[in-house]
Amino acid sequence: MPQVDLKSVRPYGDTLDDGKVQLGFTLPIRYGPEAKEAARQLVMKMGFEGADVVSAHDLGGHFTYFVVYGKCVHSVDVTSLRVPKVEVEQMDFFKINDLVRDKLGRKITVVAACTGSDAHTVGIDAIINMKGYAGEYGLERYPWFRAHNLGAQVPNETLVAKAIDTDADAILVSQVVTQRNVHIANMTRLVDLLEAEGIRDDVILVAGGPRISHELALELGYDAGFGPGTLPSHVAAYIAQEMVRKEHRTSPDLGKER
């Protein structure tokens, strides 16, 4: 195993520190030699050396897709990075349910949806539905959770109304559609509605999706953000642990029915 200098990390292609990268992009230019040269020069202007257009595909009309190889001359000091992350103890299905049973004594109610124009339910289904994902059960299977999956293209107003109607402890929002940052506006709108109803501080608000990070979620007023690779147990453990902390802060009288 070669020794990696974490203070100066560069892309790995064929050998350590060679800086080799592959870029794929589309230009609004008709396919041809001029288009390939335009792609090569563009990559050179991005700061890459030795740019080589290895593939160009005519997309029809005035569009061409390119794959370009190049050499990155920059590096990054990994030791200086400070990235906000969800702080949670990883627990399995059984330990999560034991925690809720022993520390709360009641079920945790969760409502979830793909909101706005988003119709991609694969992510939220993986977390919520009983069948789960990657060998893990979804929250519907957890005996100490009461999960409501509202599905796709749910208006924020409908999600908030459901949260109020069920006296929800947590709200999960899945955002896959991100063109023109529509997810930013949609996520912000949900926070505004919860604040207008006076229940923002009463719920644990979680967002997830391919372009969702914990840092972005915090910036938009959420409690946590989960990106690609998230499993049902990750979300369940976070909610359970937050509920325990929250209820211990607000009331010593745990175990009440709800």
| Dist CA 237 CA 98 (whole Å) | 11
Q: Which of 95, 131, 162, 256 is catalytic?
A: 131
| Dist CA 167 CA 40 (whole Å) | 57
Tell me, what DSSP letter sits at residue 139? G
> Strands of 63-72's sheet, edge to edge?
20-27, 63-72, 48-60
131 is catalytic: yes
C-beta separation of 77 from 225 below 8 A:
no
| Dist CA 238 CA 130 (whole Å) | 18
Which residues, including other chains, have CB under 8 Å from residue 169's CB and lie 6 or more apart?
A: 108, 109, 110, 203, 204, 239, 243
C-beta separation of 191 from 217 below 8 A:
no
Beta bridge partners of 65: 26, 57
| Dist CA 173 CA 223 (whole Å) | 12
Active-site residue numbers?
Answer: 131
